[in-house]
Amino acid sequence: MTQVRTRIAPSPTGDPHVGTAYIALFNMCFARQMGGKFILRIEDTDQVRSTRESEQDILDSLRWLHLDWDEGPDKGGDFGPYRQSERSDIYKEHVNKLVAEGHAFPCFCTEERLTELRRKQQEEKIQPGYDGHCLSLDEKNVQQRLAANLPHVIRMLVPADGKCVVNDMLRGDIEIDWHQIDMQVLMKSDGLPTYHLANVVDDHLMQITHVIRGEEWITSAPKHLKLYEYFGWEPPVLIHMPLLRNADRSKLSKRKNPTSIGYYQKMGYLSEAVVNYLGMMGWSMPDGEELFLVEDMIANFDINRVSLGGPVFDTEKLDWLNGRYLREKLSDEEFMQRFGEWAFDPATMHQIIPLIKQRVELFSDVAAIAGFFISGLPKISLADFEHKKVSAEESIKILQFIAWAIETLPEWHRDRIEMLLMGMAEKMELKIRDFLFPVFIAIAGTSVSTSVIDSIAVIGKDMTRARLRHAIEVLGGVSKKGAKRLESDYRSLGI
């Protein structure tokens, strides 16, 4: 029998998401249980949004959770490179083959034409998608345009009608009408592949046998299956896991729930409790025991027992589970050790010490002024935000604007943060002291603390986001209508 090979294929375009860890966990359990290999591949074909910082954070987060891979960009392996940006030639060669065999074609349509097409299709209430305009160009014309280096993309051909049957190992046959499937761009005008092409080519070349991924990819499966067919390759087994959800059953989003793995690490969850909880999202032990280690999960794993119900990611339940781990699984000795490692992590300590050294005379002063760095969400109330010049409403505005603005920061560095906040205060026509007051309360729980900008830099984006959100809730929250108004005010500032 061929060896089972699974993979996790994150795009390094933001904070490491708990959804990535959840999918990685199931891929890892399946591979381990089958005596196979689990691969990590970085899908960084989106050059604008992908960053090395995000890639590093994803690797670190998965390592923290002990979701260890056998092959990857950091480890190498027989099927590398494992970073798509280093595989451009492979994709070019494959797309050329598709064009030569008449399965894909160059498309020279301009952005304006495509926008106009979309607008018309919306107006006529017809299925949006490419209309095949460039398919009517004759061969000579195409060659001339190519020779003249006219900007173009490569699109794949898809059947105009009929149905595609996607077989999902857990869901059975899923029928999707071909007319709903667009003539997908496979290669962009910059010569880089899109997700669909790179993903199929790599899964094949890396000999992936089972693709276990989120259910949001079901609609992409027809294109992928068609590509396998065009290339004459056997497709891997497809398994689409149910998406993690917010309490209101919408797709888990950072607006409603912390989604960054780093947040859970900084809040002081145990990695095994987080993994256990992610396991519970799609799996239960045969004996119904809710507390299980990843080894137990691997030993008992049966992919056919994965449940397809939309699992709600509920942090209260996670807290409860984590509490059980602390009480039932850690001896006092282990608690001491794990707590020490978490609280006095050298990398963070190196950042904190210079900030507090100037402000203390005794070691016994330290806890009072540095406790907030590690204390999760500060215990604050509406009264803490009382200020002569800044109303609660204004505070909400400041905090919400910052929460939005930090998402645009390309790197998390104190000088960048300072520039951003200074610029915002100016645009909002507020004195920097007044502007920063609610920020101090949100981040440190008090207005007397180390520089709030330094503090933000130390606690990181995920914890900053969580504290800002918490403070906004404490201040009374934002209604749907209020959010609309805030958004338009924010936009008019042009940050």
Interface ranges with ligand GLU (CB under 6 A): 9-11, 43, 195, 199, 213, 217
**Beta carbon nearer to ligand GLU, 10 or 438:** 10
Distance in Å, CB of 217 to ligand GLU, minimum: 5
**Beta carbon nearer to ligand GLU, 152 or 240:** 240
Of 37, 223, 226, 254, the catalytic one is: 254
Distance in Å, CB of 226 to ligand GLU, minimum: 15
**Beta carbon nearer to ligand GLU, 9 or 275:** 9
**Pairing label, strands 5-8, 37-40:** parallel
**Beta carbon nearer to ligand GLU, 8 or 134:** 8
**Pairing label, strands 237-241, 210-214:** parallel
Distance in Å, CB of 111 to ligand GLU, minimum: 24
d(CA 33, CA 265): 27
Distance in Å, CB of 139 to ligand GLU, minimum: 34
CB atoms within 10 A of CB 336: 11
- CA neighbor of 182 nearest in space, from 214, 210, 223: 223
**Beta carbon nearer to ligand GLU, 278 or 355:** 278
**Beta carbon nearer to ligand GLU, 262 or 438:** 262
Distance in Å, CB of 22 to ligand GLU, minimum: 12
**Beta carbon nearer to ligand GLU, 10 or 311:** 10
Taking the CA atoms of residue 91, residue 92, residue 97 and residue 100 in that order, the dihedral angle to the nearest 10 degrees is 150
Strand pairing partners for 7? 39
CB atoms within 10 A of CB 213: 21
Distance in Å, CB of 234 to ligand GLU, minimum: 17
CB 182 within 8 A of CB 226: no
d(CA 213, CA 221): 11
CA 158 → CA 93, 119, 183, 188, 228, distances in Å? Answer: 20, 22, 6, 18, 13
Is residue 431 among the annotated active site residues?
A: no
Distance in Å, CB of 391 to ligand GLU, minimum: 42
Distance in Å, CB of 216 to ligand GLU, minimum: 8
Distance in Å, CB of 46 to ligand GLU, minimum: 9
**Beta carbon nearer to ligand GLU, 240 or 469:** 240
Tokens for 22?
Answer: 């959840």
d(CA 185, CA 458): 41
> Which positions are catalytic?
254
